[in-house]
Amino acid sequence: MRMLVLVTLIAASLPPAAAAEPACKPVVGHFEAFIVPPPDCSSPILCTAGRVWGGLQGNYAFAMTSLQPSGAVPSISFFTGDSEVALKNGDLVHGTDTGSIDLGPDGGFASLITFSGGTTGQIRLRGQLNLAEGTTSGDYIGTVCTP
């Protein structure tokens, strides 16, 4: 009986087992996409769908959820949006986009996607939006962590 009490006291005094730390890796790559028109676009502002390759590989979809003029440069706006990346391994990664976009003839944009859920991390994108051709393309760099 004393042994059982002693083992119980020792076990109770140990720190709880730490949850496994996520495995994080740097990712670098490219993306290209097409503008998705209504009714396939869930956003009243802008949707794109395309592919990513490099550190992340698969297909992605983006839906812009807000667009606010910068007030400083007439063609530049700030935006938020939702992204989903269907990775080649079958995982579905969800992210929230925040960024700025030039809706003028230069068409440049920069975005930070923050992943949440099972997969976490952030990637930074920079690219070009060609409204006349209905395309977008660019590069990304960041860190992705899996449970």
Sign of the C-alpha dihedral, residues 89, 92, 94, 97?
A: positive
Number of neighbouring beta carbons within 10 Å of residue 118: 13
pTM of the model: 0.83
Question: Looking at this protein, which amino acid is placed at residue 71?
Answer: G
- Note the pLDDT tens digit of each residue in 124-139: 999 999 999 999 999 9
- Note the pLDDT tens digit of each residue in 25-80: 999 999 999 999 999 999 999 999 999 999 999 999 999 999 999 999 999 999 99
